[in-house]
Structure 1
Amino acid sequence: MSTCTTVSQDLDEPIAGTAATATTWLLLEQPGPWGAKALTQSHLDPALGRALEAAAQGTGVRIALIRRPGRHADYKRPSERRVYAAHTVPGGVWLRTATVRDPRQLLELDLAALGRGEHHTFDKVLGGHAHTGDPLALVCTNGKRDRCCALLGRPLAAELAASGVDGVWEVTHLGGHRFSPTLLVLPYGYAYGRAEADVVRRVLDGVREGRIVGEGCRGNSAWERPGQAAELAVRRTTGESAAEALSVVRTEGAAPLWEVTVAHADGRRWRVDVAQGAAQPPRPEKCGTSVLGSPARMDVVAVRELRTTATATALAG
C-alpha cells in the first residue's frame, strides 16, 4: 500500500525549502503517549499546553515535546523533566538546557526575548546553562499526526540510540509527514527528510565540527521557506559548508516569486530568485485521507553573486 512518503519519493518531490520555521525552539520532555496535538493531547496538563501555545504566538518560538527513544513507559508525572532552548539564527546560535520538576515554570519565561535570541530568561527562570554535550538529533515519531512518522521515525530513533549516538530524542512534530523520517538537528536548526541512519551520523559529525551536510537537507528553521531554499542554493553553488557562514538578510516580493539576498560572513552576497510552484500531480499530503492536494514547492530560478565593494576591491587588486 502506498503511503504519503512513498508517493512523494516516487514523484521525486523537491525537499529544499520545506522546514518548519522557528528562530528559537523550546523543548519539554514529556514521556508517555502523544496525540495529534501533543501539547494538549498528552499527559502534560492540557491547560498548560494551551497556555504555552498562546504565549508562543508571534514570538518566533516553536514549542515541542520530546521523549527518549524506545518503549514509552506511561509515567504521567515524571519527577524531573529535561528542557532545552535553542536559538538558530546564524551569528547568535546557542543551545541551553535545564531540569525542571514543575513544567508550569515555563509560563514564567519571556518567550519574546527567547525568540530574539536572548537566553537570560531561560537561565534565570529555569536555572539553565549551556549544553556542552553532543548536538541534539530530534526525530519526529508522532504517529497520531501521520502513521509514517511512527513507522519510519521510531525505528530510526531506536537505531541511532542503540548504536550509541548521544543526543537522540523523539519529537512531536516537525512538519512534512511525506518526507518521513524527518529530523531536526540543534543547535544550528537544520532540518532533514527521508533520513537514514548513516546520513544522520554524517550530519551529526558535521555539526560537531561546525559544518552542514547538504544531503537530504530541508533548510534552516531560522528562515521562511523562500530563504531556506535560497540559502541551500548558495551552499550548493559555492560549496560552503560552515554552519554559520550564510544568512538571509533580505526577502523581497511575495508568492509566487521572491528575490532573496543571502550574505556570507566574509562580505560576499548573492541574489537568489525563488519561485513557488505546486507539486504535481495532486496526491494525498498525509496518510489516512483521500483528499488530494498539490503541496507548495520552492524552485530556485537563478543565483547571482552581487558585486560588493569588497569584491570590486579584490578584483582591482
Structure 2
Amino acid sequence: MSTCATLSRELSEPLAATAATATTWLLVEQNGPWGAKALGESHLDPAVGRALDAATADTGVRVALIRRPGRHADCLPTARHEVVVAHTVPAPGRSWVRRGQVADPAELLSLDFAALGTGDHGGFGVPHVGGPIALVCTNGRRDRCCALLGRPLAADLAAAGHSEVWEVTHLGGHRFSPTMLVLPYGYAYGRLTAESAKEVLAATAAGHMVPEWSRGCSGWDRPAQAADQAVRLATGETRADALTLAQRPDGAGRWRVGVRHEDGRSWEVEVAEGVSEPPRAESCGKAAGTPSRMEVAALREL
C-alpha cells in the first residue's frame, strides 16, 4: 500500500526545517475518538474548541488534544482534563513546561494567550517535574500514516515506561510519520522507529537533541530551524539549549540567520526557500504538490 510517508522516504525528502511552528503549546487531554479537525470533532465541546482556536490565532500558541495510548473508540468521558503548557524556545533558560487540571476546558479561555506566546505563563499550574514528555501524532482521521505508524510507536514507548507518553492530534508533516514532539525543548522528530525514539528520549533527558531524526525546534520559524540544524551538523553540538538564533529577511524567499553559541562563538547562515521536486502528496489522499523546503546556501563562522 502506497502512502505519503512511503513516497517521502523513497524520495529521500529532508526532515530538517519541517517542524510545525509554535512558541508555546497548549495541550488538552481529551479522551475518545478524534476527527480530522479534532478541536471541533471530538468529545470536546465544539464551541469551546472553536473558541480556543480563535483566541490563540496569531499569538504563537498552538492548541492540540492529547490522550493516553490505547483504545479510544469507547473511552469514558474525561472527568478532569490534564493540561500541559510548554514554551519551546530552547535558548538558554527560556524553555519551560507547566501543567494543571481543569474540570471544563472552557476554563482555559481565561488565559492570556498573547502573554503565553511570549513565554509568560502567568502562574498557570505548577512546573512539570520529571523527564521528557513524548507527544506522538496518531490521528488517523487526519492522515492514515499517523495511525498506521504513530499508534504502534506510542504504545511501544508507553510500555517501555522510560518517559511520559501521550498521543497528540496533529504535529504537521504526516509524510514524515511516525512523528514525535518532545518537551521541554520542543524538538520534533520524524521517521522514527521504537529504537530511535527511545534514543531521542534518552538524549532529551540528558539535555540534548538528536540531529539525525530532527525536523527542527517548533519554537523557531523554518529558516531558523534550517540554520540550527546546519550549525549543529557543522560543529557536532547537540545540547538542546546551547544556541540562540535570530533571523531577518534578506529578500524574497531568503533569510540571514544569526546563531550564537553560549560559549561566545557565532555564525551567519544564509537560508533560501525552494520547492521539493518531483511533486508528491503532502498527505494521504491529497493531490501531488511541491512543498516548500528550506535550503542552506551559506554558513560562515564570525
User: Shorter-chain TM-score: what band?
Assistant: over 0.9
Q: Does 1:292 align with 2:288?
A: yes
Structure 2 counterpart of 1:114: 116
Rounded to whole Å, the distance in 2 between the matches of 1:136 and 1:119 is 18
Q: What is the root-mean-square deviation of aligned Cα atoms in Å?
A: 1.2
CA positional deviation for 1:252: 2.5
Aligned equivalent of 1:275:
272
SS at match of 1:57: coil
The correspondence of residues 165-314 of structure 1 with structure 2, limited to 5 A, is 165-289=162-286, 291-306=287-302
* Aligned residues of 2:32 and 2:77 also touching (Cα < 8 A): no
Structure 2, unmatched stretches of 5+, are none
The Cα offsets for residues 198-248 of structure 1, whole Å up to 9 and x where unpaired, read as 111111111111111112100011111010010111011111111111121
State the 1:73 CA deviation. 5.3
Bigger shift: residues 207-216 or 66-75: 66-75
In the alignment, does 2:22 pair up with 1:18?
no
Relative to structure 1, is the Cα distance of residues 241 and 255 closer, same or farther in structure 2, using a 3 angstrom cutoff?
same
State the match for 1:78 in structure 2. 78
- How far did 1:75 drift? 3.9
Q: CA deviation at 1:77?
A: 3.0
What are structure 1's unaligned runs of at least 5 residues?
Answer: 123-127, 307-317
Q: Which residue of 2 aligns with 1:63?
A: 63
Structure whose CA Rg is larger: 1
| Partner SS for 2:136 | strand
Q: CA deviation at 1:303?
A: 0.9
How far apart are the structure 1 equivalents of 2:297 and 2:250?
Answer: 14
Counterpart of 2:39 in structure 1 is: 39
Decide whether aligned partners of structure 1 residues 283 and 39 sit closer, same or farther in structure 2, where only a CA change above 3 A counts.
same
Distance, in Å, in 1 between the alignment partners of 2:227 and 2:197 is 23
Tell me whether 1:145 sits opposite 2:142 in the alignment. yes
Q: % of aligned pairs identical? A: 62
1:310 aligned residue: none
CA shift in 2, pair 1:174/1:255, >3 Å: farther
Q: Counterpart of 1:164?
A: 161
Letter of the 1:133 counterpart: G
Q: Which residue of 2 aligns with 1:314?
A: none
CA contact (8 A) 1:26 1:64 kept: yes
Count of residues in correspondence between the two structures: 300
Instruction: Answer whether contact 1:109 1:121 (CA < 8 A) is retained.
Output: no
Q: Note the C-alpha offset of 1:300.
A: 1.1
Contact 2:258/2:267, CA 8 A, preserved across alignment: yes
Shift of residue 121 of structure 1?
4.3
Paired residue type of 2:298: A
What is the distance in 1 between the residues matched to 2:59 and 2:264? 29
Query: Residue in 2 aligned with 1:87?
Result: 87
- TM norm structure 2: 0.96
Greater mean deviation of Cα atoms: 22-31 or 253-262: 253-262
